[in-house]
Structure 1
């Protein structure tokens, strides 16, 4: 097991899986562009088409930097800022009530954990670069 965890394959797989939520969302917004635009409009982001394109670019570029471990710290930072910004824009549970409030609260907790995972990737990438 230790050999697998130390392998390049495991490190790449971990980065692909960690960023799955981002690059898969970008692909969904690209394939279903009109739905992505509608989502941006729903959250009051104007002009929605421009925001949809910006989100696609941010998610794909951030994910690629992390996955390919090229400026992984920058890619992780981009995705961290994006994830943090989604909390007040799309998951503002403190303005809600009932079961929706609880569901959005859990989404925010997941977002915070995801931010922690991205921080770990940035730290690991920096440590690995020092070793080389």
Structure 2
């Protein structure tokens, strides 16, 4: 039995709607869009955030985050150079999870919260890899 046959026809029909794919890509990058726009609207707070997590110079890290969050999100949503947009977002997410979610240094409730956030970010990176794989497969067809 083929893998496609394992998925009910009605589910394949829904997943085949182009609007669903576009909405899923937008949802995947929504946190990056919000983050980039928020940093852009209050650049001094963005600098402070970067420096709070030990990233210096803060202005450089804040500017890079804005460029990657907005530019990478645009590439993923447009379906153009998805590997580049998703890759940039994935690397940014990895840096963020290693600096902001260092559960290995924490105890109690703080450790619990950071551990959850760490693995949520890891799942987000996996989603970015999956969208890149899908885009690469679409290019081959």
TM-score, normalization by structure 2:
0.87
User: How far apart, in 1, do the equivalents of 2:122 and 2:33 lie?
Assistant: 18
Q: CA RMSD of the aligned region, Å?
A: 1.2
Establish whether residue 118 from structure 1 lines up as the match of residue 134 from structure 2.
no
Establish whether residue 59 from structure 1 lines up as the match of residue 69 from structure 2.
yes
User: How far apart, in 2, do the equivalents of 1:11 and 1:95 lie?
Assistant: 39
Q: What residue is the counterpart of 1:91 in the other structure?
A: 101
Q: What residue is the counterpart of 1:48 in the other structure?
A: 58
User: How far apart, in 2, do the equivalents of 1:51 and 1:31 lie?
Assistant: 16
Q: What residue is the counterpart of 1:35 in the other structure?
A: 45
State the shift of 1:62 in Å: 1.1
State the shift of 1:115 in Å: 0.9
State the shift of 1:23 in Å: 1.2
User: How far apart, in 2, do the equivalents of 1:7 and 1:129 lie?
Assistant: 18
Structure 1: segments with no counterpart, 5+ residues:
none
User: How far apart, in 2, do the equivalents of 1:57 and 1:67 lie?
Assistant: 15
Structure with higher Rg: it is 2
- How many residues are aligned here? 131
Q: What residue is the counterpart of 1:7 in the other structure?
A: 17
User: How far apart, in 1, do the equivalents of 2:98 and 2:140 lie?
Assistant: 36
Structure 2: segments with no counterpart, 5+ residues:
1-9
Q: What residue is the counterpart of 1:72 in the other structure?
A: 82
State the shift of 1:7 in Å: 2.1
TM-score, normalization by structure 1:
0.93
